[in-house]
Structure 1
Amino acid sequence: MDEDIICIGCGAVLQSDDPQKAGYLPKSALEKAKNEENTDVYCQRCFKLRHYNEIMPVDLNNDDFLALLNSLAEKKALIVNVVDLFDFSNSLLSSLKRFVGNNDFILVGNKFDLFPKNSKQSKIKDWMRQEANRMGLYPKDIFLVSAKKKLNLESLISYINDQSQDKDVYFVGTTNVGKSTLINAIIDMMGDIQNLITTSRFPGTTLDQIEIPLENGHFLIDTPGIMTDNQLATHLNAKDLELISPKKPLKPATYQLLPGNTLFLAGLGRIDYLKGESTSFTVYVARNMYVHRAKTTNADAFYEKHKGELLAPPSPDDQMAPLKGKEFKTEFKSDLLFGGIGFVTVPKGCLVKTYTPDGIGLGIRRALI
Structure 2
Amino acid sequence: MSEELLEEIRCIGCGSIIQTEDKEGLGYTPNSALEKGLETGEVYCQRCFRLRHYNDIQDVQLTDDDFLRLLNGIGQEDALIVNVVDIFDFNGSLIPGLHRFIGNNPVLLVGNKVDILPKSLKRGKLTQWMRERAHEVGLRPEEVILTSAKKPNEMESLLKTIEKYRKGRDVYVVGVTNVGKSTLINAIIKSTAGVQELITTSQFPGTTLDKIEIPLEDGRFLIDTPGIIHNFQMAHYLGKKDLRLVAPTKEIKPKVYQLNAGQTLFLGGLARFDFIQGDRASFVTYVSNDIDIHRTKLEKASEFYQKHAGGLLTPPQLDEVSDFPELVRFEFSVKENTDIVFAGLGWITITTPCVVAGWAPKGVDVIRRKALI
Same structural fold, with TM-score higher than 0.5 when normalized by the shorter chain: yes
CA 338–5 in structure 1, closer or farther in 2 if over 3 Å, else same: farther
Distance 2:59 2:227 in 1: 7
Deviations 1:177-198 (A, max 9, x none): 111110000000002469x99x
For residues 1-369 of structure 1, the aligned pairs below 5 Å read: 8-9=9-10, 10-11=16-17, 13=19, 16-17=23-24, 22-23=26-27, 25=29, 29=30, 42-44=44-46, 61-150=63-152, 152-192=154-194, 208-318=210-320, 319-369=323-373
Aligned residues: 343
Distance 2:221 2:6 in 1: 26
In the alignment, is the contact (CA less than 8 A) between 2:68 and 2:228 conserved in 1?
Answer: no
In the alignment, is the contact (CA less than 8 A) between 2:17 and 2:26 conserved in 1?
Answer: no
1:148: how far off? 2.5
What is the percent sequence identity of the aligned residues?
A: 48
Distance 2:251 2:93 in 1: 20
Amino acid at match of 2:229: M
CA 24–112 in structure 1, closer or farther in 2 if over 3 Å, else same: farther
Instruction: With the length of structure 1 as denominator, give the TM-score of the two structures.
Output: 0.84
Equivalent position SS for 1:152: helix
1:284: how far off? 1.1
1:261: how far off? 0.7
1:365: how far off? 1.2
Distance 2:64 2:33 in 1: 31
Deviations 1:254-280 (A, max 9, x none): 111111111100000101111111100
1:156: how far off? 1.0
1:43: how far off? 1.2
Distance 2:188 2:98 in 1: 24
In the alignment, is the contact (CA less than 8 A) between 1:57 and 1:225 conserved in 2?
Answer: no
Distance 1:292 1:245 in 2: 19
CA 103–146 in structure 1, closer or farther in 2 if over 3 Å, else same: same
Distance 1:315 1:42 in 2: 32
Moved more, 8-17 or 78-87: 8-17
In the alignment, is the contact (CA less than 8 A) between 1:213 and 1:219 conserved in 2?
Answer: yes
1:86: how far off? 1.2
- Give unpaired runs (5+ residues) of structure 1: 49-55, 198-206
1:162: how far off? 2.0
In the alignment, is the contact (CA less than 8 A) between 2:258 and 2:280 conserved in 1?
Answer: yes
Distance 2:26 2:120 in 1: 41
In the alignment, is the contact (CA less than 8 A) between 2:263 and 2:275 conserved in 1?
Answer: yes
Deviations 1:96-134 (A, max 9, x none): 121121111111111100111121111111111111111
Partner of 2:202: none
In the alignment, is the contact (CA less than 8 A) between 1:59 and 1:224 conserved in 2?
Answer: no
Amino acid at match of 1:354: G
Instruction: With the length of structure 2 as denominator, give the TM-score of the two structures.
Output: 0.83
In the alignment, is the contact (CA less than 8 A) between 1:79 and 1:172 conserved in 2?
Answer: yes
